[in-house]
Amino acid sequence: MIESENVCKMIRTNIIHRRIVENSLEGTGVYQGQHRILMRLAEHEYHSQKEIAIAMKVSTATMAIALKKLEKNKYIEKNMDTEDNRLNKIIITEKGQKVIEDSKKILDDIDRKMFQGFSDEDKQKFGKMLEIIEQNLIDMEKEKKKK
């Protein structure tokens, strides 16, 4: 069945991609999950661990541990929110900014090499196919929740 062959190829591709990303990011000094947090913080402003945890779909306890490690290693700082003392504004330090810049270069290089030999049209078609697959899976998930 061609569908199951393609699913196997997607899974294998994902595993190889993840392994390459993890190995490539090793030299930056932070772990994969910490990279995701730093990248997310670079894109959005958050005022609480809870907001970040919700956005990244992890528990607040998991986020608290990860942020504590990032703060201990001076990748981020927490500053009390001037409008609400119960909240901390999370600031990326210069050291954290350097990791983000290095990580973006590494990830961009991986992406570029991964799509080597593809035309822009091929990449757009592939993206549309993935969107359809994603939507089909989302629809399946919704159907299962109804039952």
What digits encode the pLDDT tens for the residues 56-114? 889 989 998 999 999 999 999 988 766 766 667 788 999 999 999 999 999 999 999 99
* Long-range contacts, stretch 55-60, CB < 8 angstroms, 24+ apart: none
The reported pTM is: 0.77
Per-domain residue ranges of the chain: 2-114, 118-147
- Reading the block at residue 100, the tokens are 């983000």
Distance CA 67, CA 62 (A): 9
Which backbone phi and psi does 73 adopt, to 5 degrees? -90, 10
CATH architecture of 2-114: Orthogonal Bundle (1.10)
In the predicted structure, residue 119 carries a pLDDT above the cut 90: yes
Give the CA dihedral 63, 69, 75, 80, nearest 10 degrees.
60
